[in-house]
Amino acid sequence: MLTRPVIGLLITLVVAAYFSSATAFANQTVRDLGFEIAKELRCPMSQNKTLFESDARIASELKAHIFTMLNEGKSKQDVINFMIARYGEQIHYKPPFNRDTAFLWLAPLLLIIGGSCRLYIYLKDQ
């Protein structure tokens, strides 16, 4: 007669999972905004992963902190500014174009132009 306790346990787990996920994100807009922010910020621990993609412990803590700040009424920019103040500009997964990141953004274009010029000169000499 183990089936009755097992079924009872399964029902309890399903109900608990349903209510825990419902209370974690009571506000759909906060949930969506939190995920949007987590997709824009880099995980400090995992290489080449956003907070949203990372399974690292610090990523989970930062995501929880993002949702806490949003539930307190902070804006998206407030949350991002807090993370930048705490972890620096490198927390941006896609860094903004400014004086410090100009080379990062322009290097691929310069390499393509330089390679095209080199190829043109090579083919012209043939």
The pair of three-digit structure tokens given for residue 103, joined into one six-digit string: 């080379």
Q: What pLDDT score was predicted for residue 76?
A: 93
Residues 39-82 have pLDDT tens digits of 999 998 988 899 999 999 999 999 999 999 999 999 999 999 99
Show the DSSP H helices in the chain as ranges. 3-24, 28-40, 57-71, 76-87, 102-125
pTM of the model: 0.62
CA separation for the pair 45, 58 (Å, rounded):
7
Judged against a pLDDT cut of 80, whether residue 99 lies above it is answered with yes
